[in-house]
Amino acid sequence: MPQDSRWSALLSKAKSPQIGKDLDYALDLIEKDNPQLKGVLPKVYAKDNLDSATLGDLINLIDSISLNQANTSDILGHIFEYFFR
């Protein structure tokens, strides 16, 4: 995983007004390292209709979820259930 695409890198930029561009760039880097994902990952986070502060808050909220207690290999499922509740 490219350094700029890691969660810790995105988390450190969560409050930046450029977080949408940073997230789109991170997805571009993931696609470059994984050609089978080319065109699959949505790069829509730098658009004007998405507030960077809200996106940053969402990143921080996801980071606050305690995944150590999930006791499952389905981390994405656990995150989905967390938000569904």
Could you report the per-residue pLDDT of 11-58, keeping only the tens digit for each? 999 999 999 999 999 999 999 999 999 999 999 999 999 999 999 999
Domain tally for the chain? 1
Query: Per residue in 53-79, pLDDT tens?
Result: 999 999 998 888 776 655 666 777 777
* CA-CA-CA-CA dihedral for 74, 67, 50, 53, to nearest 10: -170
Domain range for 65 is: 3-84
Query: Alpha-carbon distance 49 to 67, whole Å?
Result: 30
Token readout for 58 is: 């969402």
pTM > 0.85:
no
Query: Alpha-carbon distance 2 to 36, whole Å?
Result: 16
